[in-house]
Structure 1
Amino acid sequence: MRIFLKSIDYNIWKIILNGPDVPTKQNADGEVVKKEDNEWTEEEKKKVELNSKAINLMHCAISFEEYRKVSKCKTAKEIWDKLRLNHEGTKQVRETRIDMLMKEYEMFNMKEEESIDQMFERFSIIINNLDAMGKSYSEETLVRKT
């Protein structure tokens, strides 16, 4: 989904990661407060629209089951964080998954009745899962492993 969102507009991806850019101002007491809609500049309106576009894109890209989990979220960042937690788990769960995948990678061998294609598919799944969790290997290392 990252590539999909970045390809539409990189600024949408930044809104998803950092949260919406809500226009603010200083009031008479020197406090920073949210601007009213009618006070927004054209540039501020465009930045606020990015959050709505990001929400719309993510709603269109996910299944109905996942949509039900995030439908109450108000910002694209909230949706992303909830989806990420649902798919990757907490930091501790994520580290455990990485450890398990690394062990699978290290112990990887061709099975007796397995074709080259089946072996390569199994290897690709391990590598792709590791990559999705932020652990990647150089092509050189992967070629030597297979």
Structure 2
Amino acid sequence: MTGSSSNEKEGQVTLHYPMLSKSNYVAWAIKMKVFMQAQGVWDVVEPRTTNIVVEVKKDKMAMAAIYQGIPEDLLLALAEKQTAKEAWVALKVMFMGEERVKTARIQTLKAEFEALNMKESEAVDEFAVKVSNIVSTTRALGDTVEESYVVKKMLRAVSSKFLQIASTLE
């Protein structure tokens, strides 16, 4: 039997954790959630049921994943947290704010979304990315945004050179 170490590790993936910064919390949280789900430890951070018993090993693995993705200046803020869930919630509060701050941010994003119009010189892809970023951030803050609403906005906001296409699509 001939085998190499790469064959023995087939199916394993090396995860490169994203680094949290002042401006990327939403994207960071989405990536970290997926990484922790892939490792089978996300359920200690966000249990599906209230009666779940947290396994200490899973909790430590989830905490290690969180620590991998934060800069050293945040390490001290999380050092007193006993569980991965506590650390996750603390980061969310630090970056997303308390409930009234979240509500204000959602209102600002909604106003920004409504005021958004495609510039004549702008490519459709560029405009779609702007729309997508606002919608994703709004959803990450806990607000619902219906896909049909987003599509209608995009059709209304396209530049005049695309009006014929937008009318046909409607």
TM-score, scaled to structure 2: 0.61
Give me the CA root mean square deviation: 2.4
The percentage of aligned residue pairs carrying the same residue is 28
Give unpaired runs (5+ residues) of structure 1. Answer: 23-46
1:4 aligns to what? Answer: 35
> What's the offset of the Cα at 1:112?
4.5
1:104 Cα offset (Å) = 1.3
Report the equivalent of 1:103. Answer: 111
Greater per-residue strand proportion:
1
Equivalents in 2 of 1:95, 1:65: separation in Å? 27
Q: Is 1:126 the counterpart of 2:155 in the alignment?
A: no
Given that 1:21 and 1:48 are in contact with CA atoms closer than 8 Å, whether structure 2 keeps it comes out as no
Mapped partners of 1:116, 1:48: distance in 2: 49
Q: Distance in 1 between matches of 2:45 and 2:125?
A: 38
Q: How does 1:130-141 map to 2 (within 5 A)?
A: 130-141=138-149
Shift of 1:86: 0.8
* Partner residue, 2:43: 14
Unaligned runs of 5+ in 2: 1-31, 155-170
* Partner of residue 48, structure 1: 56
Which aligned pairs between 1:75-90 and structure 2 lie closer than 5 A?
75-90=83-98
Q: How has the CA–CA distance of structure 1 residues 111 and 68 changed in structure 2, closer, same or farther, with 3 Å as cutoff?
A: farther
Say which structure, 1 or 2, has more relative contact order (CA 8 Å, 6+ apart): 1
Is the counterpart of residue 114 in structure 1 residue 129 in structure 2?
Answer: no
